[in-house]
Amino acid sequence: MTAAESFDAVDVIRAKRDRRDLSDAQIDWVVDAYTRGVVADEQMAALAMAILLNGMTHRETARWTSAMIASGERLDFSGLRRSDGRGLPTADKHSTGGVGDKITLPLAPLVAVYGVAVPQLSGRGLGHTGGTLDKLESIPGWRASLTNEEMMAQLGDVGAVICAAGSGLAPADKKLYALRDVTGTVEAIPLIASSIMSKKIAEGTGSLVLDVKVGSGAFMKDAAQARELAETMVALGKDAGVNTVALLTNMATPLGLTAGNAIEVEESVEVLAGGGPEDVVELTVRLAEEMLECAGVHDADPRQALRDGRAMDVWRRMIAAQGGDPDAALPVAKESETVYAPADGVLVELDALKVGVAAWRLGAGRARKEDPVQAAAGVRLHAKPGALVRAGEPLMTLLTDTPERFERAKETLEGAAVIAPAGSRPAQQLVIDRIA
């Protein structure tokens, strides 16, 4: 005989439908019951839509996040020690996703240079936003899946790890995220915030820096909504005892000069070697400074650690520790096609969303989580906004192993580049604001 449930799903749905606050007990029950299969998908979809339309108070969102964490395991890095026996501080970064956003790759080893362990649990790409694990898997031999024991050992030895999150972390989120994706409720800020923060808090890091993207290539196109999301997540982190800071950053234009997988790894290695596009270097350094400050390291110079090779040394050890060959050649696309500037002038706009969708259509991304990706596919940019261009000069190169994809990618790129006949466009501010 099945034990009686504490609540009825329909009553919980009606409460939020009628704009009433859910009690802590109702939230704990509905998240647990959905994870157990007692609350059906259609019932949770109705509740998610009610939350999207009517919102949640901070208390409700915090409790929802706690219930998601309670659905699975929590990692504990308190056992990590420095060589002198002192505890090793931990810091992590989360980006809400964008086009050309390869920042995690140089950032994790850069922060580890200064004695802060970086347990970076990352994901795969979906749609026009790239996935960190997809990028790294273009390195021959590199593996994303580690046991908790392997992750702890690598953190103690190398200081940085980038790997897939285990299935034991916030399983309620995995189930609910898939449902939101197919029911038009992804945009609910309380559910976005609790989805991100439940995994990050369960991960056990001591401090967290959030990179909340704003603009055409970002998940959040509206600055006010992005700010609300950032403020909500910072508050959730603080409530859980995680030192949390958020940066609002510009995603109107792709980061760097590449959008893809192998080509973004190539660009990341250029940054680790002391070069690379200035916007990628600037954001990597700024996020490193925030992570180190949160972890209690106040006298670091991350830009110098990129120039002198220390970050590259940690990168090589990190890749090798996960079976990758840091010296191996990266995959190269079998086919390429160039898009040329139609006129002389100043490139005043390069739409991040269109570039991201083009890279996806070339094979760099996936439409469904189970789809494969092409390691070498993507878009290589030859100019960024503010650059002078001449008619007939290359603007971007499209890369793929399957040339039949070129046509749709080029259709997507129509209007992506705006060239003005005279004058210049003020440089876009990369970091828009800091929320702490």
- As a whole number of angstroms, the distance between CA 7 and CA 186 comes to 25
Over residues 215-243, the mean pLDDT reads 94
Are residues 47 and 181 located together in one domain of the fold? no
Are residues 183 and 264 located together in one domain of the fold? yes
- As a whole number of angstroms, the distance between CA 267 and CA 265 comes to 5
- The whole-model pTM stands at 0.93
Confidence (pLDDT) at 1 = 32
Position 2 in a domain: no
Considering 33-47, 112-126, 182-196, the range whose residues carry the highest mean pLDDT is 33-47
Percent of the chain exceeding pLDDT 90 equals 83
199 belongs to the catalytic site: yes
Over residues 120-129, the mean pLDDT reads 79
174 belongs to the catalytic site: no
366 belongs to the catalytic site: no
- As a whole number of angstroms, the distance between CA 169 and CA 75 comes to 8
94 belongs to the catalytic site: yes
Are residues 317 and 344 located together in one domain of the fold? no
Position 69 in a domain: no
418: three-class secondary structure by DSSP: strand
Residue 89 neighbours by CB under 8 Å, 6+ apart: 115, 116, 117, 206, 207, 295, 296, 297
Are residues 219 and 352 located together in one domain of the fold? no
Position 83 in a domain: no
pLDDT at 185 over 70: yes
The domain in which residue 233 lies consists of 91-321
Q: In the structure encoding, which two tokens stand for residue 151, read together? A: 């992750």
User: In this structure, what are the phi and psi dihedrals at residue 22, rounded to the nearest 5 degrees?
Assistant: -85, 140
Are residues 28 and 174 located together in one domain of the fold? no
Quick one: CA torsion of 284, 379, 393, 352, rounded to 10 degrees? -60
Cβ atoms of 251 and 217 within 8 Å: the answer is yes
Residue for token digits 């139609």?
Answer: 342
175: three-class secondary structure by DSSP: helix
310: three-class secondary structure by DSSP: helix
Confidence (pLDDT) at 124 = 79
Active-site hit among 63, 94, 361, 380: 94
Confidence (pLDDT) at 181 = 80
CATH of the domain at 297: 3.40.1030.10
Instruction: Please provide the DSSP assignment of 313-325 as one string.
Output: HHHHHHHHHTT--
| Residue 245 φ/ψ region, left for φ over 0, alpha for ψ in the -120 to 50 degree band, beta for the rest | beta
CATH of the domain at 40: 1.20.970.10
Residue for token digits 């960190």?
Answer: 132
Are residues 204 and 299 located together in one domain of the fold? yes
Are residues 297 and 157 located together in one domain of the fold? yes
pLDDT at 3 over 70: no
CATH of the domain at 366: 3.90.1170.30
Average pLDDT for the chain: 93
- As a whole number of angstroms, the distance between CA 305 and CA 421 comes to 41
Number of domains in the chain: 3
Active-site hit among 93, 128, 199, 361: 199
Active-site hit among 28, 92, 134, 173: 173
Position 85 in a domain: no
Position 382 in a domain: yes
Are residues 130 and 19 located together in one domain of the fold? no
Confidence (pLDDT) at 123 = 83
Are residues 141 and 267 located together in one domain of the fold? yes
pLDDT at 128 over 80: no
- As a whole number of angstroms, the distance between CA 405 and CA 398 comes to 10
Instruction: Please provide the DSSP assignment of 244-277 as one string.
Output: EEEEEEE-SS-STTEEESHHHHHHHHHHHTT-S-
Residue 84 neighbours by CB under 8 Å, 6+ apart: none
Are residues 261 and 119 located together in one domain of the fold? yes
Active-site hit among 180, 310, 354, 380: 180
Q: Encode pLDDT of 342-373 as tens digits.
A: 999 999 999 999 999 999 999 998 777 677 89
Residue 295 neighbours by CB under 8 Å, 6+ apart: 89, 90, 91, 111, 116, 206, 207, 243
Are residues 170 and 263 located together in one domain of the fold? yes
Position 70 in a domain: no
Q: Encode pLDDT of 391-429 as tens digits.
A: 999 999 999 999 999 999 999 999 999 999 876 666 679
Confidence (pLDDT) at 129 = 75
Active-site hit among 195, 207, 216, 268: 195
Over residues 9-32, the mean pLDDT reads 97
Are residues 236 and 293 located together in one domain of the fold? yes
- List, as own/partner pairs, every contact residues 13-16 make where C-beta atoms lie below 8 angstroms and the sequence separation is at least 24, other chains included: 13/43, 13/46, 13/47, 13/50, 16/47, 16/50, 16/51, 16/54
Over residues 136-157, the mean pLDDT reads 95
Least confident of 159-173, 245-259, 387-401: 159-173
What is the rounded end-to-end Cα distance, in angstroms, of the chain? Answer: 50
195 belongs to the catalytic site: yes
Position 74 in a domain: no
Position 430 in a domain: no
Confidence (pLDDT) at 82 = 73
